[in-house]
A and B are shown apart, each in its own frame.
Chain A
Amino acid sequence: MSEAAMAAVRAYLDAYAGAATPIPALAARGAVHLAAAGLPGGAPESWRHTDPGELLARRFAVDALPVEVDAPSDLPQLAGAVRRVWVAGQPAPALDAAELAPGARMWALETDPEGVGAQIAPERDGFAALNALGFRHGAGLALDAGVVLAEPVHLLWWSSADQPALAAHPRVAIRLGAHAAATVVVHQAGAPEAGGFLNSAIEIALEAGAVLKLLVVDQSGAGAFGLSQVAVRCARDSRLEVWLIDAGAGWVRRELDVALAEPGATVNLHGLVQGRRALRADNEIVIRHEAPHTHSRQQTRAVLEDRARAVFGGGVAVAAGAQGITARQGNATLLLSRRAEVVTRPALEILADDVQCSHGASVGQLDEAALFYLRSRGLDRDAARALLVASFARAALPDVPVAGVLDWVFDGIETRSPVAATA
């Protein structure tokens, strides 16, 4: 462990020592593991292309000021969504909206933390340990068997510029009963000048036949650090649809670990890094095919301008005996600046023999032929360029179940037809 990392570990241990915590046993395990493993304290390979140095050098406040209850006018909203909001890591019930349908339950996770840590244990790595130590507030969502939520659930962590740069360690637990279905937007956003460190742990369990549409969206400001660990277990014939969207300006690292634990389980993942300014986004994805006849697809894209940098770690692990699986992954990147950079790192570990796995990556610039085609139809160069970039990016996010999310990401650049939009 580097000296900076040791200093960071000491600072966090001191800051959280003796503080009241909703799950003392979990916090204690976190403290022990953080001290022992240090930061980042995970698989070194997965950190090879992302330097945690800047994050470790920063010191964050750990106690939030009282939350202002006025709705910030720039708070991103989704029409019709059931919304829960945390400002600087603290619940902001005044900003919440709507209640869930019968058969679905949402609660403050800290009040009923049963099962927390089962999928993301403090011993996973240093940041999981830190989360266990610093966890104060979070969200639980449970659907009974067969319950289908019509409205999306929008979980928003908002960073306000009024707060000092804070560290917060939220947790989310989502459990869908057999054949239940929900759409959940896990959203980190903030005022452009807001900083801070959100170190989240998200545990998700899908029972047989359940369907979860999960959108993980980061729109944090330039001073923000976001690290999230997401663990999903998919039972028989359940389906996880994921959209990972990075459209902020800060430092983002996401570790998504999906276990396709029983036959018929499927994950379909889409990702977009919309990189501007100095965005650094690292998506480390591991799909575990633990059972036969499980299926995964990962299609990620990046559009990188300015000095943006994207890392895609696409891991597929096929267990011995997991026959008849399919695993596909692909990445396409549009590099629009000489200073932008992308790293794609597929990692396949296959211990079964009857499998279909594929991966591919491409990096390119704007298609000059397409640019000329659009200009020959009267669109000026800038408009044509913006249209091509937006259409490349949009294609990374097909079938998004909550249209409002696309409006956040694409700044109103329209590529759809007036017919499709109103149909």
Chain B
Amino acid sequence: MLQIDDLQVSVEDRPILKGLSLKVNAGEIHAIMGPNGSGKSTLAAVLAGREGYVHTGGAVHYRGQDLLALAPEARAREGVFLGFQYPVEIPGVNNVYLLKASLNAQRRHRGEPELDAFEFLRLVREQMTFMGIPEEFLRRSVNEGFSGGEKKRNEILQMLILQPRLAILDEIDSGLDIDALKVVSRGIEALRSPDRAMILVTHYQRLLDYVTPDFVHVLAGGRIVRSGGKELARELEAEGYGAVVAGAGA
């Protein structure tokens, strides 16, 4: 699904990712953990195509294509989804309108007919119920005036509707109280599937109490310094990043 080889990325001439390699297969959930400033969010942003990140070396292949050569919208239509750490407020653009435009952009790309308003609303309502999002949400602008928890639920709702092949969730757990964390985790678990992969970027082990990853990687200094199973997250929680990173010799 995703193959990252020796990826090097700079922001404003400052190297952030310094040779990161990672392989993600369909059906897998990977957690990428690391201290602040380790490059976690940079990795998520680069995979989604945000501007301002300069690719200085290495390669990223997604389903056999050179991912970095694609525009952000082309990546989205190919099934890559970024759940934002800080979802953007867009006053005046209606939530449901964006959902419909996004879904139809993908469907057109795949040569499928656009959903009519009725089918679309049925789909949205079903997923909103699942995510415990109130009806009033339909009439609100994208993320405008949403609490931190509402914004993250909205990201997951978008993901549930768009059904990506590869979801990258950037600190989706930050700023969530325990109830919201459970709802968001339920949304993530609902998408677990043999033909889908997910990358959870997180600072804390907390999310992994609710979503069980297949692999955990520790990112430090722009590289993955340790990889392991879900028990690695426990170790991080118990010993802190300092010990784990030092032990890895980074």
Contact = CB atoms under 8 A, between A and B. Distances in A.
A374 interface: yes
Contact of B94 (A370, A372, A416): A416
B106 interface: yes
A417 interface: yes
A357 B101 CA distance: 41
Contact of A372 (B51, B106, B121, B162): B51
A395 B92 CA distance: 6
Contact of B97 (A368, A381, A418): A418
Interface stretch (B13-21, B76-84, B219-227): B76-84
A373 B76 contact: no
B48 interface: yes
A156 to B, nearest CB: 28
B11 to A, nearest CB: 14
A418 B138 CA distance: 9
A296 B138 CA distance: 32
A387 interface: yes
A376 B138 contact: no
Interface in A114-141: none
B97 A378 contact: no
B80 to A, nearest CB: 8
Most chain B CB neighbours (cut-off 10 Å) among A372, A388, A390, A395:
A372
Nearest to B104: A378
B158 A377 contact: yes
Contact of A420 (B48, B50, B76, B139): B139
B137 to A, nearest CB: 10
A372 B71 CA distance: 10
B144 to A, nearest CB: 10
A391 B142 CA distance: 11
B88 A369 contact: yes
Contact of B73 (A381, A394, A395): A381
Given A372-B50, A418-B100, A391 B71 contact: no
A415 B94 contact: yes
B57 to A, nearest CB: 23
A419 B139 contact: yes
Contacts of B162: 377-378
A373 to B, nearest CB: 4
Contact of A375 (B49, B91, B106): B49
A380 B74 CA distance: 8
A419 B51 contact: no
Interface residues on B, range: 35 or more
Contacts of B98: 374, 377
B120 interface: yes
Interface in A394-415: 394-395, 414-415
B54 to A, nearest CB: 16
A375 B97 CA distance: 14
Nearest to A419: B138
Contacts of B75: 376
B93 A378 contact: no
Contacts of B97: 414-418
Contacts of B76: 375-378
Nearest to B142: A373
A387 B72 contact: no
A379 B88 contact: no
A389 to B, nearest CB: 10
B72 A376 contact: yes
B14 to A, nearest CB: 20
Given A391-B93, A419-B138, A376 B48 contact: yes
Contacts of B139: 417, 419-420, 423
Contacts of B117: 418, 422
A369 to B, nearest CB: 5
Contacts of A381: 71, 73
A15 interface: no
B50 A391 contact: no
Interface string B78-114: 0001101001101111111110111001100100000
A392 interface: yes
Contacts of B138: 417, 419-420
Nearest to B118: A418
A43 B75 CA distance: 57
Nearest to B140: A417
Given A372-B51, A419-B138, A379 B91 contact: no
Nearest to A390: B92
A383 interface: yes
Interface in B200-227: none
A384 B72 CA distance: 12
Contacts of A414: 97
Interface in A275-321: none
B95 A417 contact: yes
A373 B95 CA distance: 13
B90 A391 contact: yes
5 contacts: A372-B51, A377-B102, A384-B73, A395-B92, A420-B96
Interface of A: 367-370, 372-381, 383-384, 387-388, 390-392, 394-395, 414-420, 422-423
Given A379-B105, A388-B93, A422-B117, 11 more contacts: A369-B88, A377-B76, A377-B105, A377-B158, A378-B101, A381-B71, A417-B96, A417-B100, A418-B96, A419-B138, A423-B139
